[in-house]
A and B are shown apart, each in its own frame.
Chain A
């Protein structure tokens, strides 16, 4: 039997094929855009749905971002109290303070001697009268240490505390970080919730685009049949649909960005009033241009994915009869 000859895939020269590859991609991209433009109402509806779906995870992202900046400013509130052994001389305490001050992890050291401690206790505890009956001052001297930003996290501060407790003058140390740990746990929970909701909404975006593309394929059934009859490859037929999906994603992403900015602008006034009451000048952060880019990129990828899944499933099913 004769050898099976190769099927001619293209009658064009190699360079012509490369050039036409790009020209066709541009044509299909523009063509899909034009197609959306010609059916503005139905495509706008889809884009609005995508914009709203995408704006929710983006809004949650903004929320997490702002929560993080706020908790970061609270993190530095972590403070370590070191209780000094009784009977240490004032001189050895001063040398301890100098040594701690030289730690790279420490940003500030404050010394409260026994008399000051007693005074403070009398003032704040309400036991002032009772303490006057004591023969002796029962309170130890206290050195308070503020870690620098890098070591202000619960773990960092705890490590620093361990290190400080090794100093011979220190009887024991205390780190009041329970509230900080709780706060961070809440933030972690918030982040997870955001991630879960974002994943669900991303899935919704893929499904919405997939369904829109499915309808577009059904609408153009005869055209697809004719194209297959005159020798169009699968990739040629599916390309306009993929570009349509990408455009849906791009425009949906931009819409989501606009919605977020409006939302931040709307909330910022109220937030400024609230923070003003606490004497803070924090303003709400919106999405940066980089984040807009990431959002649009993600959205266009989702658009591509949605239409690819749809095209894979439905284009194959259409065969000329």
Chain B
């Protein structure tokens, strides 16, 4: 059952994956791990250790040079470029710098994935307001991102990532610019999504934050998975 690269129990599966950027920089070397459906885990390591590259391989912003990557049952190598958008619709992505559209209202920013998927307006309204409520920004839908604080902008980004209820949530340094209290709030938010069945992978270098939470951790060092590799396929822990 676990042998297949794209079986349905696993949400993310890496098998001896390596990534070398044009120019010869080795970003990842021989990385193997998997994440089950409904799991929540952290990805840590110093900056430059390959965290962002790993997330980019999951969201097909980059493709691996060697090994296999399977996401949500799809072998990435077999996904044609024109089908990548459909794969990305199943992945909610949260970025350190939010990637919000500054000339659009909070509502329009969060509605974007739904508009792209072609939902009707009344459905879009319902879901956007629900997402805003979930991240605690209800009533701010008419604001523009520039009028919000850093923490609030981050939560708009989170609302956009979860508004179409993707089965997988990726976060790249979601607490990077926030104070400890706000960081904790954001992590609690991820926990609630995880409770409702969403698989969550959070890349962070904030080790103090991870220490306080009992979740599995994948540590990268110079592009390799290092000791305490709790995410290795041989040792699967649960929550």
Contact = CB atoms under 8 A, between A and B. Distances in A.
Contacts of B116: 227, 230-233, 236
Interface residues of B, number: 31
B87 interface: yes
Contact of A20 (B6, B78, B118): B118
Contacts of A9: 86
Nearest to B118: A20
Given A230-B112, A232-B85, A2 B118 contact: no
A126 interface: no
Interface in B136-194: 160
B7 A12 contact: no
Contacts of A12: 117-119
B86 A225 contact: no
A24 B121 CA distance: 11
A252 to B, nearest CB: 27
B208 interface: no
A5 to B, nearest CB: 5
A11 B117 CA distance: 8
Contacts of B93: 229-230
Contacts of B78: 4
A319 B74 contact: no
A10 B117 contact: yes
Interface in A188-237: 222-223, 225-234, 236
Contact of B85 (A11, A23, A233): A233
B112 A226 contact: yes
Contacts of A23: 120
B82 interface: yes
Contact of A231 (B4, B7, B79, B85): B85
Scoring A4, A225, A227, A230 by chain B CB atoms within 10 A of each residue's CB, the highest score goes to A230
A7 interface: yes
Given A228-B85, A229-B99, A231-B113, A4 B119 contact: no
A320 B61 contact: yes
Contacts of A234: 82, 85
Contacts, number: 84
Nearest to A228: B85
Contacts of B75: 4
Contacts of A231: 85-89, 113, 116-117
Nearest to B86: A7
Contacts of A168: none
Contacts of B83: 7
A225 B101 contact: no
A230 B6 contact: no
B42 to A, nearest CB: 22
B97 to A, nearest CB: 11
A144 to B, nearest CB: 74
B66 interface: no
A16 interface: yes
B7 A2 contact: yes
A236 B113 CA distance: 12
A289 B185 CA distance: 66
B119 to A, nearest CB: 7
B100 to A, nearest CB: 8
B101 A226 contact: yes
Given A7-B83, A226-B112, A231-B113, A17 B118 contact: yes
B29 interface: no
A233 B61 contact: no
A223 B116 CA distance: 13
Scoring B61, B74, B85, B88 by chain A CB atoms within 10 A of each residue's CB, the highest score goes to B85
A321 interface: yes
B4 to A, nearest CB: 4
A69 to B, nearest CB: 53
A233 B73 contact: no
A229 B6 contact: no
Contacts of A227: 112, 116
7 contacts: A4-B73, A7-B79, A16-B120, A229-B99, A231-B113, A232-B85, A233-B116
Q: Which 4 A-B pairs have the closest CB atoms?
A: A231-B89, A231-B88, A20-B118, A2-B4
